[in-house]
Structures are given as C-alpha cells and as structure tokens.
Structure 1
C-alpha cells in the first residue's frame, strides 16, 4: 500500500480505510437496546451469544519511540493484524463482521459468562503463558496505559493495555483476554525489554 499520492490528497490511513471498507459488508449503527458499554476504542453491544464491538475512536498500535514503548494511531491493517494475534495467542474467536460508512471496523466475539479478574490473576495468567512485564522506565505511554505493557519473547509480540477491563474471568475461574493492543515485537524491542 502506498503512503498516499499527492494527487489524491489521501493519507495512507484514509487509503487503508477505503481499501478495508471495500472488502467488508457495509453495516449501520445498531438500534439501541440491551446492555451497552462505551470505551475509548469501541462501543460494545451485548447480543446473546456474541458481543458486537463498533469502533468509535482510533485503535492504538504499540511502537518503539527512541528506547521507550509508545503508541500511535493504528492503521486499519494493523488493527486487523491485532485481532488475528489475539485469536492466535489467546484462543479468542474475534470475527470481523463488517465496516461502517466511515470505514470503522465492526467485530464480534463470544459472550463470556463470569466476572472481572483482579490484577494479580491477570499477572499470573500472563506469566504462565510466557509473557514478561515491561518495566515502566521503558514506557512513554499515556497515563491510562502506564504499567500495562508486556512482551512475549518466544512469540515476538508486544502488548499494551493489559488491565482489568480487558480481561474476563469465566465461571470456571479461567482468565481470558478480550481486548488487547498487540503488535509484532521487532529485534530492538526484544533487546530492550526482555529480561
């Protein structure tokens, strides 16, 4: 994908939104009703066996800025790659359902019955899966994302936003990830962040 040609006046992100939107079924905003939750990235609609997530704000993408972990607005293809990584690494079943006229992406995943885990349960689960916490001295993250970054040296993936609202605890006690910012970790990230 090009960086956006001066003649078209479109940025790379705008070109990608148009490209992604063109390959997805067009969807409209749902009618109100049922349980709903609004976050910074998604408005979430609980519809029986599936939870539908409508992108409302920019998705974020972990990057290396100098020698610190930061985030920037994700391109649509980076957002889609993040969903794929969540399915692969956490056994999720995120599905891309379509796109709004704005190009924002609509996804769904299985509704999880249970409650919210505590921070220690999330730390234990991630540690058992081979994730290592990235010390805060290596963070250049927004305040709400501080101390939420991890790296998986074997899978070569970096993660941000690993905090309570993005995990659910099943009735059987398993802690499952539901919405994480995931990206491939480059060589420099592995050198800096892996203990």
Structure 2
C-alpha cells in the first residue's frame, strides 16, 4: 500500500507537478508499459482541501539497478535515451511514451535477475516532442 503526501502527486517527465489525474494516468501507463498491477484503492481527505491517493502494488524485493542494467532494461522495452527540457529521458516511439527519473531506486533487480520499474514517472509525449528532443 502507498499513499501520496497530501496534495502532492509527483513530477511528470516534462517537469510539471502532477495533478491527481496526472498521477493516476502515470500509474496506468506504468501498468501498461511495464506489466505492473498498481491498483487504486481510494482517496483520503485528511483535512480541508487536502487529498491523498491510496494505491496498492505487489512488493518487489531487489537491489537498485546499476546504470548499465537500466540501459539494457529500457532498451529491451523498446525505449531510446534522449534529452528533453534539460533532462535525460527514455522515449518509445511506438506508443509515444516518455519515462524519466530512471535511477536505481526506481528500477530494481530481483534475486532471479529480473528487473522491475517500481516508480518511474511516465507520460505520453506531446506532439512536438521529437522536434524538441536531442
């Protein structure tokens, strides 16, 4: 189980603060792209004008992935590394998905050698992404 901080839903790959809807879209993309099974459990209102989104996800035991392992993982999933808005991101042209914040804390290697993206911000690329990315 995981709960967001009150009115804090993370940052999307474009650098924008995520709205609750943006946060849920990100989780939906993570499910689709990486075969995860994150589920929405509910929304909590801890105070006036405050909300927290509650989700669940299977626990994954593993060590943080090394940079070369992360490169292999994203390449195997059809992504190419590029730079966009001053950040290193992964882009998959097939479905126009961008992933960011792909450090070892967000990509784990299990004892069996499998890899899992556990908290990778993802979003659909804007129409002009390929003109902006290098």
Q: TM (normalized to structure 1)?
A: 0.61
Counterpart selection for 2:37 from 76, 93, 96: 93
1:24-82 Cα distance to aligned partner (Å, 9 max, x none) = xxxxxxxxxxxxxxxxxxxxxxxxxxxx211113421233xxxxxxx111111111110
The runs of 4+ residues in structure 1 deviating greater than 3 Å are none
The residue number in structure 1 matching 2:12 is: 61
For structure 1, list consecutive stretches of 5 or more residues without a partner in the other structure.
1-51, 64-70, 141-145
Q: Which one has the largest radius of gyration?
A: 1
Q: Give the one of 158, 164, 167 matched to 2:98.
A: 158
Contact 2:39/2:55, CA 8 A, preserved across alignment: yes
In the alignment, does 2:65 pair up with 1:121? no
Name the count of aligned residue pairs. Answer: 128
Higher relative contact order, chain-length normalized (CA < 8 Å, sep 6+): 2
Q: Aligned-pair RMSD on alpha carbons?
A: 1.6
Residue 170 of structure 1 aligns with which residue?
110
More helix by share: 1
Unaligned runs of 5+ in 2: none
**2:67, 2:104 within 8 Å by CA — same for their partners in 1?**
yes
1:66 maps to: none
Match of 2:85 in 1: 139
